[in-house]
Amino acid sequence: MKLNIKTKAEKTDTYTLRLAVSLIAELKALRTRADKLGVDFSASLHDLMADVAKELSKYLDEKEASVHKSYTKGTPQTSTNGSATD
């Protein structure tokens, strides 16, 4: 007998997200289609959300770094004419 042993998955929790009604309808339709084809919709969506989180984090890191360069200790840097540079 061959056993298919799987490692314990990471603990999960519920995250509530407000979405447009049209997007909810589309997601429900996609779940139905995925179920008919034996595709794990939740796992697929989870992986895509993890990718979005990574990309958004990188974007925000870049934005924060550029803001940090524009400000010194919370005070806007000023140009030679005395106006703030943003």
Checking if the pLDDT of 79 tops 80, the result is: no
Please state, rounded to an integer, the average pLDDT across all residues of the chain.
85
**Residues 68 and 77: beta-carbon distance below 8 Å:** no
First to last CA, the chain: 68
Both structure tokens of 60: 């925000």
Checking if the pLDDT of 77 tops 60, the result is: no
Task: Tell me the per-residue pLDDT of 10-47, one tens digit each, with 9 for 90 and over.
Answer: 888 999 999 999 999 999 999 999 999 999 999 999 99
Checking if the pLDDT of 83 tops 60, the result is: no
**Residues 41 and 30: beta-carbon distance below 8 Å:** yes
Residue % of the chain over a pLDDT of 90: 60
